[in-house]
Amino acid sequence: MEMEAASKNFIEQAIEKDLAEGVYDHVCTRFPPEPNGYLHIGHAKSILLNYGLAKEYQGQFNMRFDDTNPTKERSEFVESIQKDIKWLGADWGEHLYFASNYFPKMYEAAVKLIKKGKAFVCDLTAEEMRKYRGTLKEPGKNSPYRDRSVEENLDLFERMKQGEFPDGSKVLRAKIDMASPNINMRDPIIYRVAHMHHQNTGDQWCIYPMYDFAHPIEDAIEGVTHSICTLEFEDHRPLYDWVVRELEYPMPPRQIEFAKLYLTNVVTGKRYIKKLVEDGIVDGWDDPRLVSIAALRRRGFTPQSIQKFVELCGVSKAHSSVDYAMLEYCIREDLKLKAPRMMAVLKPLKLVIDNYPEGQTEELEALNNLENPELGSRKVPFGKELYIEQDDFMEEPPRKYFRLFPGNEVRLMNAYFVTCTGFEKDDDGSITVVHCTYDPATKGGNAPDGRKVKGTIHWVEASHALNAQCRLYENIIDEEKGVYNEDGSLNLNPNSLTVVENCKLESNFAGVKAYDSFQFVRNGFFCVDSHDSKEDALVFNRIVSLKSSFKLPVK
Ligand code: ATP
Ligand code: MG
């Protein structure tokens, strides 16, 4: 994929300044997902950004599971997340870490703060703590437990760890400043009691660190230099800095925030995707209408298309939404030259060539990709009975309709000119068969006398045709009408999935495998469905249609 000679983004500038000033002598980034769901396109941005920066500065990229919260995490997600990141092309080498393995070091860190007089055990209830915290306008009040001695704090914290106290009865708090204008700095909780089983550490711990305390320690332990996160953590940065400073790490990591990626017409929030899955509105986390990485892969997106998309989105400090059409643009661009272009008829109508010899077929040569000769050519069977698209015939054509209608001549792609001579209808008046004659002299699609036709249509020879189911998708949320209804439910598009049965495919589709992608000429890009497609019952997902009004934003 071509690299644009764009100017450096603000994160690259910060890194280069740090390297120039000797703040760090290397670059180490990380991607720190919580294993509580599948990754989505927003995460892809974060993954490729962190991985890309590590690569750009010959640094290290760490894959770290932020599994410090025992309630929501599941090992199923630990597997899927690794698979998705590998598929995206981000390689962590041997640098795979689990934050829960640092629990002993986090405990030591908390003890160190207590010994420095920078942390205390507090017995206020959650309700009382809220009252003491103050508001954005008013300062908070010191907890009555704030002045406990170091000895008493050490003893109580040790006993919290031993399991002497019930959940919620005691917490460890950082001793910072109850009058700080930043509420995150008003003696935040750093450890809580929770008698819970953890998927990695089992029942070893009944106290667990809070995110704002754990995260900077994880970064520092691993030697991360630039801890890149999304904007909602901007107000937490002073606490991040406080933690790494008070713990006296020799080369403390620096937090840098960027704006989350939002896409129009689709749901990206883990919570909402979960709801769609749990309510059975979609067929699992990888339903091709979703934008989880697994769903995009199943739909037929490629890692290269997502890399390109993320690159085009850029990195910024300002929140904005990107049009889903840009993602579609990226996959079209990626598949344009890579995918073979073959013939498939989605809504078949029989076409009979009355002057073609009965019982005979021949093989015609067809290029696999007109724009990329490297993909070579193939043989396509041709005969007396073909399928064409229902839309490619009209009994009474409107103006500027150049396809088949009585008396009109068109080109059958890669084959011959045919002239429509008539049609048959059933009792309800729907057209069942179209008749035509062909001109054997036009083999290959050109007339020796130089006469022209205005329409070219695709077709599939009937006796060799394969059957397939094709799934056509629209966005699951219609943004025009708003993402939410008045009652707060999601405003779902009822046409987000159309299943088309009995599509007819040229015989060259025999033997396709899951994830193989093709252009169905004139119909779009399609990918073999990895769940449901069988050798004798092919299922394709439409990745994207061929045309779009999308224009690349000018930077
Ligand atoms: P969600 O908001 O979808 O539930 P999350 O932030 O809870 O996601 P985490 O597993 O905590 O998910 O996130 C891992 C990393 O991915 C974090 O560094 C987070 O900032 C980043 N990330 C999450 N969503 C986006 C997004 N939409 N755009 C860019 N980065 C994101
Ligand atoms: Mg999160």
Domains with residue ranges and CATH for the chain: 10-258 (3.40.50.620), 262-335 (1.10.1160.10), 341-461 (2.40.240.10), 466-544 (2.40.240.10)
Q: How confident is the model at residue 88 (pLDDT cuts 50, 70, 90)?
A: very high
What single-letter amino acid sits at 513?
A: K
Decide if 181 contacts 65 (C-beta within 8 A).
no
**Residue having the nearest C-alpha atom to atom 15 of ligand 1:** 33
pLDDT at 74: 78
pLDDT band at 1 (very low <50, low <70, confident <90, very high): very low
Q: Is residue 22 scored above 80 in pLDDT? A: yes
The confidence score (pLDDT) of residue 2 equals: 43
CA angle 36, 39, 42 (to 5 degrees): 125
pLDDT the model gives residue 41: 93
pLDDT at 29: 98
Tokens coding 396 = 């009474």
| Average pLDDT taken over every residue of the chain | 94
Residue type present at position 90: A
CA angle in degrees (0–180, nearest 5) for 180-185-188: 135
pLDDT at 485: 83
CA of 36 to the centre of ligand 1 (A): 11
Among 46, 51, 327, the mutation site with the greatest number of ligand 1 atoms within 8 A of its Cβ is: 46
Is 504 within 8 Å of 465 (Cβ atoms)? Answer: yes
What is the distance in A from the centroid of ligand 2 to the CA of 33? 7
**214 pLDDT exceeds 50?**
yes
pLDDT of residue 109: 98
pLDDT of 5 over the 70 cut: no
Residues 506-519 have pLDDT tens digits of 999 999 999 999 99
> Per-residue pLDDT for 319 more than 80?
yes
In this prediction, residue 478 carries a pLDDT of: 63
Q: Which atom of ligand 1 is nearest to the CA of 34?
A: 10
> Residues lining ligand 1, CB < 6 A?
32-34, 42-43, 45-46, 229-230, 260-261, 268-270
pLDDT exceeding 70 applies to what percent of the chain? 97
* From 34, 36, 43, mutation site for ligand 1 pocket: most ligand atoms within 8 A of C-beta: 43
pLDDT at 70: 85
Q: Are 38 and 77 in contact (CB under 8 A)?
A: yes
Q: Could you give the angle at the alpha carbon of 415 between the alpha carbons of 413 and 417, nearest 5°?
A: 85
Q: Which of 225-229, 262-266, 286-290, 438-442 has the lowest mean pLDDT?
A: 262-266
Instruction: Give me ligand 1 centre to Cα 43, in Å.
Output: 5
Burial of 137: CB neighbours in 10 Å, binned 0-12, 13-18, 19+: exposed
pLDDT at 479: 58
CA 35, 41, 47, 49: dihedral to nearest 10 degrees? Answer: -150
pLDDT above 80: residue 143 = yes
Which has more confidence, 484 or 159?
A: 159
Residue owning the nearest CA to atom 13 of ligand 1: 33
Q: How far apart are CA 243 and CA 191, in angstroms?
A: 13
Helix (H, G, I), strand (E, B) or coil at 131: helix
> How confident is the model over 145-166, as a mean pLDDT?
98
Q: Answer whether residue 190 shows pLDDT above 70.
A: yes
pLDDT class of 491 with cuts at 50, 70, 90: confident
Q: How many CB atoms lie within 10 A of CB 282?
A: 23
Q: What was the pLDDT predicted at 480?
A: 60
Task: Give CA–CA dist 555/536, Å, rounded.
Answer: 48
Considering only the C-alpha atoms of the chain, give the largest distance between any 2 of them, rounded to a whole number of Å. 103
Band of pLDDT at residue 195, cut at 50, 70 and 90 = very high
SS3 369: coil
The pLDDT of residue 73? 66
Single-letter residue type at 297: R
| β-strand partners of 505 | 344, 466
pLDDT of residue 4 exceeding 60, the answer is: no
* Region 298-304 average pLDDT: 98
Report the 10 Å Cβ neighbour count for 440: 9
- List of residues 6+ apart from 548 with CB closer than 8 A: 325, 328, 329, 332
- Do residues 404 and 393 touch, judged by C-beta distance below 8 A? yes
